[in-house]
Amino acid sequence: MKGPTPSRLYKYFVRRLRLGGYLEEPGDGRSLPQIPASSLLWALILARVLRVASFHGVERLGQARPGALGLERPFGDDALAYFTERLDPEGTRRALVSLLRRAKRNKAFDGSARIGLAVDGSGAGRSQKRTCRLCHAQGKGHGHRFAAISVVGAGLDLPFDVEFYAPGENELTAAKRLLERAVRNLGPRFADYLVVDGLYAGSPFLHLAEDLGLPVVAALKANLPELYQAARRRFENTRPHARFEHNGGHVELWDADDFIAWHELRWPRVRVLRYRHVRPDGQVFDAYWLTNLPTRRIGPRALFLMAKSRWAIENQGFNDAKNRYGLGHIPHHHPTSVVVDALLTFLAMGLERLYRLRYLRRGTHPPYSAMHFHVLLWLNLGDSEPYDTS
């Protein structure tokens, strides 16, 4: 088994994922560029896989190991700042969608599972003073806020688009723009469902998802008081409709599809699922979810798994992006660079996950852990195997 090296990762990116065209023409807006876009872009992507977040760190990496980055000559961090300020984010969005489509075609997702999309909001990047139009006042400083979307529930969680919003806008408005764009780019039949938190459970967002052809699974909380109370009245103090073992603990389910929709919601009836999940450590999670997925097509147990898949966007999406890949760090404080940086972080995560968990896993070799892979890639940086860019 050959371990990971930068040039093998590059070959995988260009030949298997077929993203060489993106490296050549990513939407470079520089006039008279001195350094090819493909060099700067690949350095940024590889640096993110190596978890080097700052442009200064990328510059130093390029100086220390130009061969490992496939560079003919090193560049300064100012070249990266200038490049990302002028890079059209749409090129990287298209590359991410192309990566997802290829993953689906190559059966990288669980064959048995349904492919979900999760949308959620978060914040990242702190600064002392207001520096760009995306800066929100936050505590004593400033920060950026966004809605992001991820593939979830199919064995491989892949965040793939982000929408930052300015002060005066809100997460829901950004999430609507994001969802419309994501479904337009992915195509209508890519995913089987959308899963969201209670904030999104209002009728405008549910109607938008329906118009886009996506059934929705949304957390049902006290912000929908009538339906929430009706479901609690019906399900509490009644025996569960199903019970099964789950990850060493157990789950009890209540499920009914004849709840009356609230006034603004145009669905004829609402289906509500309640689960009570007791984990092996004794922690209990009691939650209500609403959906327009029909009972005859999706049983309560499958619906439970869809609801649970929402946590992936926080754990394998936001938390990994921030803790492992440095999304909280602002390498260059410019509104376009901030968007580009988040998209490149998602692209690096997708590349790493597909390569490590799917490509290297072929045969009998068990997959490397994220940490093991990361260490091996660093150890192999000195490997002067030349890049084959033919």
CB of 73 to Zn ion, least distance (A): 32
Which helix or strand (DSSP H or E) is residue 245 part of? strand 242-246
CB of 129 to Zn ion, least distance (A): 9
Token pair of 268, please? 């004829």
CB of 147 to Zn ion, least distance (A): 17
Measured distance CA(317)–CA(148) in Å, rounded: 9
Residues in the chain: 390
The DSSP bridge partners found for residue 127 are 142
Per the listing, tokens 């969201």 go with 196
Name which of 63 and 131 has its Cβ closer to Zn ion: 131
Cα–Cα separations (whole angstroms), residue 250 to 189, 220, 246, 282? 33, 21, 5, 10
C-beta of residue 52 within 8 angstroms of C-beta of residue 77: no
Name which of 131 and 336 has its Cβ closer to Zn ion: 131
Query: Ramachandran region of residue 153, left (φ > 0), alpha (ψ -120 to 50) or beta?
Result: left
CB of 125 to Zn ion, least distance (A): 7
Q: What angle do CA 151, 182, 227 make, to 5 degrees?
A: 75
Task: Provide the Cα torsion 11, 12, 13, 14; round to 10°.
Answer: 50
Name which of 3 and 335 has its Cβ closer to Zn ion: 335
Name which of 134 and 220 has its Cβ closer to Zn ion: 134
CB of 171 to Zn ion, least distance (A): 17
The alpha carbon of 30 is separated from its chain's Cα centroid by a whole number of angstroms, namely 28
DSSP state at residue 375: H
Name which of 131 and 295 has its Cβ closer to Zn ion: 131
Name which of 170 and 315 has its Cβ closer to Zn ion: 170
Query: Ramachandran region of residue 27, left (φ > 0), alpha (ψ -120 to 50) or beta?
Result: left
CB of 266 to Zn ion, least distance (A): 39
Name which of 132 and 290 has its Cβ closer to Zn ion: 132
> Where along the sequence are the contacts to Zn ion (CB under 5 A)?
131-132, 134-135
For residue 234, the tally of other CB atoms under 10 A from its CB is 15
Name which of 116 and 121 has its Cβ closer to Zn ion: 121
Name which of 135 and 360 has its Cβ closer to Zn ion: 135
> Around 159, how many Cα atoms within 13 Å sit in the side-chain half-sphere?
33
DSSP state at residue 385: P
CB of 142 to Zn ion, least distance (A): 6
Token pair of 314, please? 């926080």
CB of 330 to Zn ion, least distance (A): 7
CB of 88 to Zn ion, least distance (A): 19
- Read off the amino acid at residue 374: H
Token pair of 350, please? 């997708």
> Around 318, how many Cα atoms within 13 Å sit in the side-chain half-sphere?
18
